[in-house]
Each structure stands twice: as structure tokens, then as C-alpha cells.
Amino acid sequence: MEEDQNILAAMLQQEKAYRSIDYLDQIKNLKYQREEQQAARSKGGKGRKDVSSQKVVDEFCRDQIVEWKYRVMDYFKIDREIVAISMSYLDRFLSEAVHSRDRRAFKRAATASLHLAVKVHVPDKLRCIGVLSDLSRGEFEMSDIIATEGSVSKTINWRLHPPTAICVTSTLISILPSIPSSPSIEGKEIANCLLDFSLFFAELSVCNYSLSVIQKTSTIAVASLFNAMEGLGLLSSVEASSSFLRDFVEKVGEIAPDASLDLDAIEDSKELLWKLYENSEEYSMTKEEEEKTNATKRSKTTKNGGRDSPSGIDDDKISVVSDSSSPICVSRLVRAEGVMV
């Protein structure tokens, strides 16, 4: 318990150094300024090239990149936390590198950040993703990716070990027994479900710009844990959840005084995570559809010798070969256990 608390304190102290700025808002402001400048030049009859027409990064671009990264990691059976790590690299890089905010440069930086995260955290899998240049449909050579990887590393000051929401959430669960008002978690199955469902929400947060870039990692982690407890019926009422949340935040404050958790931010994050989950394919899938999907995947796996083939960044045909940490598997597990509400 003491070791877990020390680890938690260290991670929450580190998160300040791994924050990104709201670079999409900055992009919008810059684009607006350019449009105003262009309008002024047009009135003056100077007729310069319209620089504001350049396609820049937006939230939809980022969403697509995250989905693509998850598909690639699932295919190569690499821990999905690598996506969160690589997006931390990418978001912090874009917070500084103004020149990389057009879509082509963004895709190159996204690919390089994934390659870098695998190289640092799971080097034994590096050989598997040597085809990343192929997945760009010939848009980038591997030499381009390696060069951009170096630029990313320097720009983020070689801070390559971010405390992800997934990692913080796992550690937060370990301090539950130290809180007197903590709900009783009886049985290994419920404990495993709590962990899986908490990690599901933490993993889902990576897909959302407002959560993974704007909010603190610790805020997302606490929100993920409490959503899981509420979803599993471990907290009997809204009042019980609010009361325990205050106790929990107080305990985290004792362990990491600099954490400065904001109750309102946590509640907002909880609500947004639920909305993301309720709008997800996993939530809406019926049991019949799930069985049909499983049957199709088993058929494809048998036919292709155990693997489907990944494609380019914009290709939606990559099949998800997921492990137990996949959001699809997690939500399916929770419903199968009959503890989802």
C-alpha cells in the first residue's frame, strides 16, 4: 500500500510537466487572423495567395488518428496504453510545433509518435511496426518517419514517460482499501470488473480532445474509476457517490498535496465519459449483433491464418483483433457478468 501511494504521488507530481496547451483553439485563432488579413489584402487589391485555405488539424483529424492507432496496436497485439503514450507525445508536440499543424504534417507526426512510443516502451515489438510507412499508402518513407521522430523527441524535451490516465487509474484503485468510507468490493470477479471497466473509461478518454488534452490526467483517472464504481452498482446512490468522491479526493490530497483535484472538473469529466460511452458502438450493440461479429471475426481469423491485414490511416477496414483491455471486450465482459446498470 505504501509503495502504491509513493508511486501515485510521483505520477501526480510528474503530470504537470506532461501537460499540453489547447492547440486546436490556438489553430482556430490563427486561422481567423489569417482570414482577416486576407480580407484586408483583397480590399487593398494586392491579391496575394490565400494562406488560410490550407487544411489544418481539427478535432475530427485527431479522432481519426486515435482510432487508427488503436486498430494498428490491436492488430499487432501491442498494449493499447501505447496509444495514450503516443498521443501524449503528439499533443505536446503540436502544442509547440506550429509548422506541423497542417494535415499532412500532422499525419507524419502522428505516425512518428507511435513509432517512438513503441521503440521506447515495447522495443521487442519494434520489428512488427516497421511497416508504418506502408500504412501511410506511400505518403511517407520510413526515413521521413524517423526524422520526424527526432523532431518530436526534441520538441517535447525528451519527456517520454508520461503518467497516462490508464496508469494512474490502476494505481488509484489500490488506495481504495485505505479509505474508511470505501465501498465493499467482494470477490475477485467484481474486483477484476472494476479494474477493466475503469481502464475502459480511461482508454476511452484518449479519443476525446477535451478530456485528454484540456483536463488533467489525474482528473480523468478519478472520473474513470468513479464511473466504473457507479456502473457496477458499488455506490448505492448519487449522494453516496458524491460523499465518497469527497473522501477520495481528500485522501489523494494527503498522498500528493500538489495534485489539486477539482471536484467540478471530475464531475464534468464523468458526465462526458458517460456520453462518449453511450454514443459508442459498444453500448448500442445487441447480443445478437455481438454474436454475429464474433462469428465473422472467427471466420476471418481462420481464413487468414490468424490475422487480418492492416491498411492505411484513412481505411476503416482494419479488423479489431483485441485483447482483454479492448473497450469492446471490456463492455462485453461487464454485460456478461450481469453487473452493468
Return the pLDDT at 4: 87
Residue 75 is placed in which grid cell? 492488430
The grid cell for 128 is: 512488427
Domain carrying residue 137: 7-13+20-40+55-155
Residue 224 lies in a domain: yes
What is the C-alpha to C-alpha distance for residues 278 and 284, in angstroms, rounded to an integer? 7
Q: Which helix (H) or strand (E) holds 222?
A: helix 217-231
Q: What's the whole-model pTM score?
A: 0.78
DSSP letter at 127 equals: T
Cα dist from 20 to 80, 214, 239, 240, 299, whole Å: 21, 7, 34, 34, 43
209 in the same domain as 269: yes
Q: How many CB atoms lie within 10 A of CB 105?
A: 16
- Verify that 130 and 226 share a domain, yes or no: no
Shared domain check, 151 and 27: yes
How far is the C-alpha of 219 from the C-alpha of 273, rounded, in Å? 12
CA atoms of 254 and 25, how far apart (whole Å): 35
Asked if residue 264 and residue 231 are part of one domain, the reply reads: yes
Confidence at residue 294, expressed as pLDDT on a 0 to 100 scale: 63
Digit-coded pLDDT (tens) for 36-63: 556 666 666 554 444 444 577 889 989 9
The pLDDT value given to residue 300: 55
102 has which bridge partners?
A: 56
pLDDT for 325 equals 39
Q: What is the CA radius of gyration of the chain?
A: 22
Q: Of 175, 180, 179, 181, nearest to 198 (Cα)?
A: 175
Question: What is the DSSP secondary-structure string of 33-98?
Answer: HHHHHHHHHHHHT-----GGGS-B--HHHHHHHHHHHHHHHHHTT--THHHHHHHHHHHHHHHH-G
Question: Given 245, 279, 313, which residue is the final one in a domain?
Answer: 279
217-231 helix and 188-205 helix, angle to the nearest 10 degrees: 140
What per-residue confidence (pLDDT) applies to 188? Answer: 83
Please write the tens of the pLDDT for every residue from 80-105.
999 999 999 999 999 988 766 788 88
Domain identity same for 74 and 95? yes
Residues in the chain, pLDDT under 70: 30-54, 99-100, 130, 133-138, 281-341
184 within some domain: yes
- What integer pLDDT is reported at residue 40 of this predicted model? 63
Whether residues 115 and 209 fall in one domain: no
pLDDT in the model for residue 38: 61
* Contact in structure between 19 and 216 (CB atoms under 8 Å): yes
Q: Is residue 288 one of the residues assigned to a domain?
A: no
The span from the CA of 328 to the CA of 228, in Å, is 15
Among the candidates 224, 255, 279, a domain finishes at 279
* Total number of domains in the chain: 2
Q: What residues contact residue 222 under an 8 Å CB cut-off, 6+ apart?
A: 172, 245, 248, 249, 252, 261, 266
* CA 275, chain centre distance (Å): 16
Whichever domain contains 267, its CATH number is 1.10.472.10
Q: In the listed set 104, 126, 155, which residue is the last one of a domain according to the structure?
A: 155
Dist. CA 159–CA 89, nearest whole Å: 8
> Is the torsion defined by CA of 250, 251, 256, 257 positive or negative?
positive
Q: Give the N- to C-terminal CA distance of the chain in Å, as an integer.
A: 31
